[in-house]
Structure 1
Amino acid sequence: MPLSPERTETLIILGIDPGSRHTGYGVLAVEGERARVVAVDVIHLDAQASHPLRLLRLFEQLSALVDRYRPDECALEMPVYGRNPQSMLKLGRAQAAAMLAVLTRQIPTVEYTPKEVKKALTGRGNATKEQVRFMVQALLDLPSDQVKLALDASDALAVAVCHWQHRTRLQPFRGHTSWARFVQAHPERLD
């Protein structure tokens, strides 16, 4: 009797870059060592609405996304510093609303600092948002001829990729120590 090919289970990871006005999200389907983007976008909240109402809308919209894509795990970017205490408080509340949308559905949730995310994708903890976006597009084979991802959306995908790498202990560059060296070694990813 011939053996059937081994099936790999698909892992769905939801990455969230929370914000009180703009929240990026990205959904990855991971099979083995490959990941593909299922969904990526930004939730734009009404700047004229009160902060509590924006938090409610964020919770509702993320809850609907969780119900639609049914992620197995969620990764959030964690706010760690800021110049304005009021802004940081609002950002922390947005993160809490995002966490609750996921945790109320009993989905395991992990937080990563911006430096951890940047280091996982570019090899440098102080990379720019544009460098992170470039690496997200290269690592996930997103066509470069399409309109560039919004920075909040690419940040959300970056959080999901960071989580994937941490949970599987993948080495993002397979020996490369910076995004520039990765690009030099993989010029085909620039097309």
Structure 2
Amino acid sequence: MIILGIDPGLAIVGYGVVEYIGNRYGVLDYGVIRTDSKTSFPERLKIIYDELSILIEKYNPDDFAIEELFFNKNVKTAIQVGQARGVEILSAINKGLEVYEYTPLQIKQAVAGYGRADKKQVQEMVKLLLNLKKIPKPDDAADALAVAICHSSCLNFKEDFKMK
């Protein structure tokens, strides 16, 4: 099974493509999609959509997993990132993929075994679980890989996490 994990964003969208077969992981790709703040908002959304569409075509994932948003500060930023997240989901839906979403707590629990794990603990576990030599950089890519790992651990219950 190939899983595309997404850490949603506007300026930086993290992605991680993981192959999961028989409790073994293989990393196919990870990285980020960046958009420049000087670029118009609609154009930034188009860049994200186009780049994610290319990734989906290239890796043909079986499932698309994305982190739910959690904001408590800047409302304007939250709205823009929410709109970007919608575009990220649309790129998956338009390619015929089911979309699964996980809270930060669920992701930390699945990856580190503790829902209140800090970022460094989660990143270290991503490195260990995926048998990588170093922690993936930037952080957004590591977070996206964590989303993919979380989804793999929830495969027996994935209907519970399907976006409705």
- Give the TM-score of the pair, scaled to structure 1: 0.79
Structure 2 residue 152 is the aligned partner of structure 1 residue 158: no
CA distance in 2, matches of 1:61, 1:15: 14
Amino acid paired to 1:114: P
Q: Answer whether contact 1:20 1:51 (CA < 8 A) is retained.
A: no
| SS at structure 2 position matched to 1:40 | strand
Which residue pairs with 1:111 in the alignment?
101
By relative contact order (CA 8 Å, sep 6+), the higher-ranking structure is 2
Structure 2 residue 21 is the aligned partner of structure 1 residue 31: yes
Q: Deviations over 1:119-164 (max 9, x none)?
A: 11112222222221111001111013xx742110000000000000
Runs of 4+ in 1 over 6 A off after TM superposition: none
CA distance in 1, matches of 2:130, 2:156: 16
Which ranges of structure 2 fall in alignment gaps of 5 or more residues?
A: 158-164
Structure 2 residue 33 is the aligned partner of structure 1 residue 22: no
CA distance in 1, matches of 2:25, 2:78: 32
Give the percent of matched residue pairs that are identical in Structure 1 and Structure 2. Answer: 39
By how many angstroms is 1:81 displaced?
2.7
Which residue pairs with 2:114 in the alignment?
124
Which ranges of structure 1 fall in alignment gaps of 5 or more residues?
A: 1-10, 170-191
Which residue pairs with 1:149 in the alignment?
137
Which residue pairs with 1:55 in the alignment?
45
Amino acid paired to 1:162: C
